[in-house]
Chains A and B, each alone.
Chain A
Amino acid sequence: MEGVPEKIDVLLKPTGDAPILKIQKFSVRSELPVSDLVLNIKKLAKLQPSESVFLYVNQAFAPALDEKLATLFEVYATNGKLVLHYATTEAWG
């Protein structure tokens, strides 16, 4: 999306029993889909491929995995950062 920088700041916060990541703030290419972030969290948290990661925006909804981070940033970023919560079981059902 025009107006969204090529690289955006994403802040990841654990929810429930999700493992805490050593680094929580990332600079990510905004053209990437949400699924890329999910894969990275799995890698960083050393989760098994069979384990799930659920991502939430504003502790309210899970975006579609093929949604571009740029779109989420455009609509939901606050103070220049996109804050996402991650969980290993479904939250905010």
Chain B
Amino acid sequence: MSEDRDVIEAIWSGSIPACFKLASHECTSLQNPEPFFAMLPRISYLPLLWEKIQRHFAHFVTEESRSSPIWLEYNLVPLRWQYPIGLLFDLLGEKATLPWNITVHFNDFPVKEVLACPSRQVAEAQFLNSIKEADFLKTRKKVMNTMTQGERRQMTAALHSLRTENFWAVNRKLMFTGEPWKHVPLRVFLSENCRQLQKLVGISNAENEPLTLREVLNDWIQEFSDERYEVLLHGVPAPLEAPLQWLGVNMSYADNFLYVVVRPK
């Protein structure tokens, strides 16, 4: 199997227009700040923007909250920054109008609901850990064991600057492992209750044919059917009959996980 460049390019170029506004009760200035507009790359992560957001709003909040870690919220749900932006939008933004309106908070950090992410480095470490988990599932960490610091830095830097080719120069090692994958890194999210499903899943079914996403969803979700649910991957209907490993190579997010959103029709 080789990679499908068109699919990968399409995934890397997907973006969501967003409008960040400061929570009105946190504004201590007489004048309301202008909103902060950005095109959010679906494949990327919110903390990569935090410095800019913080700088934009810092002068409108009290001096003591200025340096506290910010957190973001959509529709009263705090956004879990360790998930890729595209997943967050597919999971929470079903009824959202564009631009996606996100509220910025400096105060009352919801410790029970989201992790603190005080710096970009914390977010990058989390991202690399997710890659390590994916590699463990595929090869029992054979690839990450031999990956240099330079290659890791190349991946995080290329994700930040959205240079697909630089990213894939390293990512290819993680995807084409020279032996069959043991398991496919896959997380399924049910938008009804924001539940996350993760189980061990291989690349073949009992008949030794390539396992498809449809077979997995039939197995994981009670009474799964096309009439009841729609299945999203990167904001578009997921190809349910495609072999899971093909999806893993070509349609995973940057951390090498497939994040599939299932929502009722």
Chain A contact residues, CB within 8 Å of chain B: 1, 57-58, 60-66, 71, 74-75, 92
Contacts and interface: CB of A to CB of B under 8 A. Distances in A.
Interface in B91-146: 114-115, 126, 129-130, 132-133, 135-136, 140-141, 144
Contacts of B114: 66
A1 B221 CA distance: 12
B133 A63 contact: yes
Given A64-B115, A65-B115, A71 B132 contact: no
9 residue pairs, one from A and one from B, having the closest CB atoms: A61-B132, A60-B136, A61-B133, A60-B141, A62-B129, A61-B129, A71-B198, A64-B82, A66-B115
Contacts of A62: 129, 132
24 contacts: A57-B133, A57-B136, A58-B140, A60-B132, A60-B133, A60-B135, A60-B140, A60-B144, A61-B130, A61-B133, A61-B136, A61-B141, A62-B132, A63-B129, A63-B133, A64-B82, A64-B115, A64-B126, A64-B129, A64-B130, A65-B115, A71-B196, A71-B198, A75-B199
A58 B136 contact: yes
A52 to B, nearest CB: 12
A57 B129 CA distance: 11
**Interface of A (DSSP majority class):** loop
A63 B187 CA distance: 14
Contacts of A58: 136, 140-141
A56 to B, nearest CB: 9
A61 B130 CA distance: 8
